Amino acid sequence: MLLRELSEALGVSGHEGAVRELILAAIKDLVDEHHVDALGNLIALKKGSASVSRRAKRTGTPAKVMVAAHMDEVGLMVVFLEREGSLRFRPVGGIDERVLLSKRVLIGDNKVPGVIGVKPIHLLEEKQRNQVMRVQEMSIDIGASSKDEAERLVKLGDYAAFDIPFAELGGPWRAVKGKAFDDRAGCAVLIELLKESYPFDLYAAFTVQEEVGLRGAQVAAYSIAPEIAFVLEGTICDDLPKRRDVSPTTTLGGGPALTVMDRSVVADPRLVDLLVDTAQKEGIPHQFKQPGMGSTDAGAIHLTREGVPSAVVSVPSRYIHSPACVLSRDDLDNTLRLMRATLARIQGLDLNR
Ligand SMILES: [Zn+2]
């Protein structure tokens, strides 16, 4: 899988071009049609065989299936250039301020390197040690000594992404670390799914701007008008550090996480049942994501047009929305296995109520 390249590509919400180029190069020979829509979603069609599509029309079996993964990642935006050359910024998407200090970032299309400055511990007053520094007080140091100098390198509105190399960590579940596994893990699985053939029309949607409000998925689903949808995600994995008396949202190495309900969607029970039944039949490890947490593109997709039965399958990722995340290659492989096997059984699904 292309996970390393996908993780290291920069694509803060609204600026997903580099990720899209990478994905397009990987899928263009695997699909029958593809286009980039007005908002920047990459939508690809893998046509099913016509005879099955005709049969599907008679039986109520879905003939048009959407599988989505979002290309964007959380990051920062430059909002002010200080007189002495440092850059003020704001988060794009949900970021905990505590993960930002002293991190390396790459700014704008020229990938100008910078570091988010931190006050040396020697100079911290007692009170400051116990306080979380607010993002409004932080700035990015790019080595410029004046506003003019900084302006030659960056401009207002430039995006900054975390600068973290991908690496294999190993261990029993073949752990890897890198940034943006939410949702480049989903993108990696979706690319692999396009290597198979399907009896139905498979629409792959690599969406934009999920992290700022499920925006790309909303228009992608409208134009595709699918009968059912699967959303592939990288989701919260909080099994480390261990908390007492609280079961984690998902566990690393526990296999793909199935959503029953999150803040944005109640997953279609028929699709959840099909996923669980398929996992059991195929002996694929899987787990349920603790209900109620997070939201995904399914939140926008299932409310499209007259409604789209939707389900979410996620690769657990520790420390998501921070510069360095950890996931298990076993979980990634098992997510692909589960999706492959489930899509192979879609013909048996009857959507009539
Ligand atoms: Zn996500």
Predicted pLDDT of residue 125: 85
Q: What is the C-alpha to C-alpha distance for residues 70 and 61, in angstroms, rounded to an integer?
A: 27
Query: What does the DSSP assignment read for 52-115?
Result: HHHHHHHHT--SEEEEEEE--B-EEEEEEE-TTS-EEEEEES---GGGTTT-EEEETTTTEEEE
Residue among 347, 321, 118 at smallest CA distance from 235: 321
Determine the pLDDT at residue 124.
83
Contact yes or no for 160/140 (Cβ under 8 A): yes
The pLDDT value recorded for residue 53 is: 56
First-residue to last-residue Cα distance in the chain: 38
95, 116 Cβ separation under 8 angstroms: no
Measure 68 CA to ligand 1 centroid, in angstroms. Answer: 11
Contacts of 72 (CB under 8 A, 6+ apart): 11, 12, 13, 14, 15, 16, 19, 93, 183, 207, 208, 209, 210, 211, 212, 216
Kindly report the three-state secondary structure assignment for every residue of 278-306.
HHHHHCCCCEECCCCCCCCCHHHHCCCCC
C-alpha distances in angstroms, 69 versus 66, 181, 182?
10, 11, 9
263 burial (CB, 10 Å; 0-12 / 13-18 / 19+) is exposed
The pLDDT assigned to 85 comes to 96
pLDDT at site 120: 80
263 within 8 A of 304, measured Cβ to Cβ: no
Amino acid present at 29: D
Ligand 1 centroid to Cα of residue 235, in Å, is 7
Predicted confidence at residue 122, as pLDDT, reads 84
- Do the strands 64-70 and 75-81 form a parallel or antiparallel pair, or are they unpaired? unpaired
pLDDT of the residue at 248: 86
If we measure between CA atoms, which residue out of 7, 328, 331 comes closest to residue 166?
A: 7
Rounded to the nearest whole angstrom, what is the distance from the C-alpha of residue 234 to the centroid of ligand 1? 6
Residues of the chain with confidence (pLDDT) below 50: none
Q: Give the span between the Cα atoms of 317 and 325, in whole angstroms.
A: 6
Domains along the sequence of the chain with CATH: 3-73+179-348 (3.40.630.10), 75-162 (2.40.30.40)
Beta bridge partners, 310, equal 229
Whole-structure pTM value: 0.95
Res 58: pLDDT: 60
Distance 69 CA to ligand 1 centre (A): 8
Q: What's the rounded Cα separation, in Å, for the pair 254 and 287?
A: 6
User: What residues are labeled active site?
Assistant: 210
Ligand 1 mean position, distance from CA 326 (Å): 15
Q: 186 C-alpha to center of ligand 1: Å?
A: 8
| Residues measured by CB to lie within 5 Å of ligand 1, the ion | 182-183
pLDDT at 93: 96
Beta strand pairing call for 159-162 and 104-107: antiparallel
Residue 349: per-residue pLDDT = 87
